[in-house]
Structure formats: C-alpha cells, structure tokens
Amino acid sequence: MVADWEPAFRALLAARGDALRSYAYLLTGDASTAGDLVQEALTRVFSRRRIGGDVNELEAYVRRAMLNQYIDSRRRLRRWNATRHLLVDLPHHDDDRLAVADDVRRALATLSSKQRACVVLRYYEDLPVSEIADELGCAEGTVKRHLADARAKLATQLGVTEESTP
C-alpha cells in the first residue's frame, strides 16, 4: 500500500529535484556530499508523521533542512576541511565552462558556512536579505555582514567587481 507521503515525495522530486540538486551542490561544492545532503533532508522531512501535499511547501521544508544540516555539518567538519586540501586533490578541468565552475567551487570553499549560505541564497536563489535572515535565524545586519565579507573574498579570488550593497 502506498502511504500518503509517497505521492508527495515523488511529485516533489519530479518537479523540483533538479533545483534541490543545484542548491545542495552550491552549498557543498561536491557531488557526493550534495547527494547525501539532499537525501538526508528528504528523509528527515518525509519521516515526519504528517506530510502535506503542497510541493512548494515541501520544497521549503527540504531546503530549510538542507541548510540547517549543512551549517551543522560544517561546524563538525571544520577541522577536516582545514586540512582536506593536503589529502585530497580537488578536481581540475580543462574545459572552460567546467574550469570556471571549479574556480567558483574553490572560491566558495574559502567562505564560512554562513557566508556561503548567504551567497547562495542571495545570488543564486535571489532571496532578499530579510528572508535570508529568517532562513538562517539571524539579524539582517548579520546577513549583510556575511555578504560583505563573502563578496570581499570572492572579489579577490574570482576577479569580479565588488558592489557596495547586497
């Protein structure tokens, strides 16, 4: 017997699976970790006893779960990340488009988890600062500070022009 959650689960992945993949990939910068992040968030959200059928609402829950999980896991893995480059060769691509993506991933990897989340939410998801603050559970001023710090780092590494306001 198909439980109520399953049609909603299938519908969400059919409609928004790609968007969730992209979001996770930008947060983590690694396909395997991104897969784990989405899978765990889906498992958490759909393991709840009561699941609504609205895809947009479910997507919001899954994204929120991914974000929380990403920030928590980054805290735990901070030490590993600090030394990871000594042990793992980050992939290198000759293709121009892939090489750009490599550069972006490397640059994003230098940001703190909250800076990175702010950048992804602001410049990829196009969320206003107020909504980012809501997502992260912090003040708008904190988000602006994270964005400013992140932009300063990315401006140097990616050679893009820094703007004065988010």
Interface of this chain with other proteins, residues 126 to 165, rule: CB under 8 A: 151, 154-155, 158, 160-163
Tokens encoding 58? 């479910």
- Angle at which helices 31-46 and 55-76 cross, to 10°: 120
What separation, in Å, do the N-terminal and C-terminal C-alpha atoms of the chain show? 50
Q: Cβ distance 65 to 15 under 8 Å? A: no
Q: Cβ distance 115 to 166 under 8 Å? A: no
Candidates 3-11, 65-73, 74-82, 132-140; binding stretch for other proteins (CB under 8 A) = 3-11
CB of 105 to other proteins, least distance (A): 6
How many alpha carbons fall within 13 Å on the CB side of residue 51? 25
Tokens encoding 155? 């401006």
Between 9 and 73, CB nearer to other proteins: 9
Candidates 64-72, 79-87, 103-111, 130-138; binding stretch for other proteins (CB under 8 A) = 103-111
Tokens encoding 13? 């992945």
| Other beta carbons less than 10 A from residue 103's beta carbon | 14
Instruction: State which of residues 111, 117, 119, 132 lies at the interface with other proteins (CB under 8 A).
Output: 119
Interface of this chain with other proteins, residues 18 to 77, rule: CB under 8 A: 18, 20-26, 31, 34-35, 38-39, 42-43, 46-47, 49
List of long-range contacts for 140-148, beta carbons under 8 Å, 24+ apart? 143/118, 146/112, 146/114, 146/115, 146/118, 147/115, 147/118, 147/119, 147/122
Instruction: State which of residues 71, 123, 131, 144 lies at the interface with other proteins (CB under 8 A).
Output: 123
Between 32 and 83, CB nearer to other proteins: 32
CB of 79 to other proteins, least distance (A): 25
CA–CA separation, 9 and 45 (whole Å): 10
* 109 scored as a contact of other proteins (CB under 8 A): no
Between 123 and 140, CB nearer to other proteins: 123
Interacting residue ranges for other proteins, rule: CB under 8 A: 3, 5-6, 9-10, 13, 17-18, 20-26, 31, 34-35, 38-39, 42-43, 46-47, 49, 97-98, 100-101, 104-105, 108, 119-120, 123-124, 151, 154-155, 158, 160-163
